[in-house]
Amino acid sequence: MIHRLGGKVAVITGAAKGLGAAIARRFAAEGAIDALTRALSNELAPQDIRVNAIKPGVVDTDGVEAGFLTNRFGQAIIEETPLGRLGLPTDIAPAGVYLASDEIAWMTGEYTTLSGGQR
């Protein structure tokens, strides 16, 4: 007998666009997170546990600002983003709350991209 535990898991990945030499490693890691999200969603669904991922674009944090925001690359990211700005942690958090809610009870194994339209 399978026990229906219930629960939600929201995995947050990182932005991988334009990270220089490290970009191959970042894309590989993101691919692994996608595969893990889908595999866990299938494995845990019988226990009523949903697993989804959030893929944010570039989010304005201390690390991002110190890393590249002040150079031409950082400005290019902003210019290429249709909404014209970097994301904020407050742009990402509501998606996690929503995925953890019962309002989206039939979603599992998926990812939500929050990027200001940046692709």
In the structure, what pLDDT confidence band is assigned to residue 11 with cuts at 50, 70 and 90? confident
SS3 string, the chain, reads CCCCCCEEEEEECCCCCCCHHHHHHHHHHHHHHHHHHHHHHHHHHHHCEEEEEEEECCECCHHHHHHHHCCHHHHHHHHHCCCCCCECHHHHHHHHHHHCCHHHCCCCCCEEEECCCCC
As a whole number of angstroms, the distance between CA 10 and CA 95 comes to 9
Structure token pair of residue 60: 């304005």
pLDDT per position as a tens digit, 26-77: 888 889 999 999 999 999 999 999 999 999 988 888 876 656 666 787 788 8
pLDDT of amino acid 116? 95
**pTM of this prediction?**
0.82
Q: Judge whether 77 and 18 are in contact, CB under 8 Å.
A: yes
pLDDT of amino acid 73? 77
pLDDT of amino acid 118? 87
